[in-house]
Structure 1
Amino acid sequence: MVVYNELIAITAGAGLVGFAKFLTLILRKERVESEGWAAFFGVTGLLLFALGLHTTVTWPYGGDGFEYANIAFGQPAAGFGALLLLAAVYLWRQRALYDGAVDAAHAKTLEAFKPVSIFVGVLGLGMAVLAVSFVRYQLGAAPPEEPITGRFGHLPLLEAIFLGGLWGIVAVGALLFAVALLTDRLRLLRWVVWTWVLGGIAFALFGAMNFYTHIGMYYNIANGTMIKW
């Protein structure tokens, strides 16, 4: 089975933390270096969109009831990646604007985000349903061959709650983002920043850990060992 949810997870984590930082600059009315941020959103967006779209249309995660991962990882990644690419294009095209008056640039940015926030909110709704699905069906339990997380495989609800909470906190941020922009309640954006920082850090740490645990899982399977840590 081919898996690359490690790269998806760390890239999603970086994208969430990065966008939260960008949003903080807007809220604090600090100058934005648009070319650098366009490059950041372009790299993270391209990776997420390419890997997410490939996962969505080819379903590389298969067998033993693991097919749900194609939906839970692939589709949100493709949607988030497309949004980051859009942000990259916008920031690159508006370089002159960000070199000018800070207040004008930030005001126009928030106005430009309003139509996009509709899709952000709908994507957040999908993430919320995925969060419920993780817990309701107790998905995500690691096989016994996987180090660290495999030690808790006999407690499927434990990892289901972790994954549901992770997807859920990102969903809350996405829904708040849409509400804040569409109703001009911009103070809510501060809560968006916190949810995406926490969710982004968790995604990054989760993905980084999976580099170790997934390599260990394949090593255990290939060599008939049961290394637990």
Structure 2
Amino acid sequence: MVVYNELVAITAGAGLLGVAAFLNLLIRKKPIESEGWAAFFGVTGLLLLVLGLHTTVTWPFGGDGFEYANIAFGQPAAGFGALLTFAAVYLWRNRALFGDTEQTKTAALAALKPAGIFVGTLGLGMAVLAVTFVRFQLGAAPPEEPISGRFGHLPLIEALFLGGLWGIIAIGALLFATALWTERPQLLRWVVWAWIIGGVVLLLFGAMNFYTHIGMYYNLEHGTTHKW
């Protein structure tokens, strides 16, 4: 089974942290280097869009009831990647706007308002996925996987972890849509915190998976039982 959820996870984590940092600059009316942010969102958006779409349409995760990962990982990645790509295009095309910090906040939030509908929609989907992880106790690692596999016999642990992670990201997305469409920009501060927490955890989890997944394949190939 060839998968790439490690790269998806660290890229999504970086993307969430980037969006949180960008929003923080925006609501505090700090100078924004539009071209640099456009490049950042372009790189992260392209990776997530391509890998997310490939996961969504080809279902590389398969066997032993693991097919749900194609839905839970691939589809949110594709949606988030599309939004980051939109942000990259907008920031690049409106470079002149971000030279004036007084007008930037109002204009940028107005431009993001339509996209907020899709952000909220993704948030709703992530919230349902969070419940699904817990309800069906999904996400347990196989015993051959170091670290995570030590808790594979307790599927509720990883289900609660993944459900909580998806849930905090969902809260940020739903608050983002609410803030824009109810014209309560003060809610964006909570969005920033939700996506900082979600981004950090997702990034660290993805980075750890580089070790645990390689360790799993090593154990399977060589018949070893490395647990750490």
Q: How does 1:129-168 map to 2 (within 5 A)?
A: 129-168=128-167
In the TM superposition, what whole-angstrom CA distance separates every residue of 1:107-158 from its partner, at most 9, and x where no partner exists?
1000001110000000000000000000000000000000000000000000
Q: Find the residue that maps to 1:95 and give its secondary structure.
A: coil
Shift of 1:85: 0.2
User: Where does residue 67 of structure 2 map in the other structure?
Assistant: 67
Partners of 2:102 and 2:87 lie apart in 1 by 19
User: Where does residue 185 of structure 2 map in the other structure?
Assistant: 186
Question: Aligned pair 1:83/2:83, yes or no?
Answer: yes
In the TM superposition, what whole-angstrom CA distance separates every residue of 1:163-206 from its partner, at most 9, and x where no partner exists?
00000000000000000000001111000000000000000000
TM superposition score normalised by structure 1: 0.99
Partners of 1:31 and 1:111 lie apart in 2 by 18
Q: Find the residue that maps to 1:138 and give its secondary structure.
A: coil
Partners of 2:117 and 2:214 lie apart in 1 by 39
Q: Aligned partner of 2:98: which letter?
A: Y
User: Where does residue 204 of structure 1 map in the other structure?
Assistant: 203
Partners of 1:103 and 1:122 lie apart in 2 by 30
Shift of 1:3: 1.0
Shift of 1:96: 1.1
User: Where does residue 110 of structure 2 map in the other structure?
Assistant: 111
Q: Aligned partner of 2:226: which letter?
A: I
User: Where does residue 95 of structure 2 map in the other structure?
Assistant: 95
Shift of 1:76: 0.1
User: Where does residue 41 of structure 2 map in the other structure?
Assistant: 41
User: Where does residue 56 of structure 1 map in the other structure?
Assistant: 56
Equivalent residues, number: 228
Q: Find the residue that maps to 2:96 and give its secondary structure.
A: helix
Shift of 1:97: 1.2
Partners of 2:26 and 2:97 lie apart in 1 by 14
Partners of 1:105 and 1:153 lie apart in 2 by 49
In the TM superposition, what whole-angstrom CA distance separates every residue of 1:27-76 from its partner, at most 9, and x where no partner exists?
10001000000000000000000000000000000000000000000000
Q: Find the residue that maps to 2:145 and give its secondary structure.
A: coil
Partners of 1:144 and 1:25 lie apart in 2 by 44
Q: Aligned partner of 1:226: which letter?
A: T
**Identity score, percent:** 75
Q: Aligned partner of 1:209: which letter?
A: M
- The CA RMSD over aligned residues, in Å, is 0.4
Q: Find the residue that maps to 2:142 and give its secondary structure.
A: coil
TM superposition score normalised by structure 2: 0.99
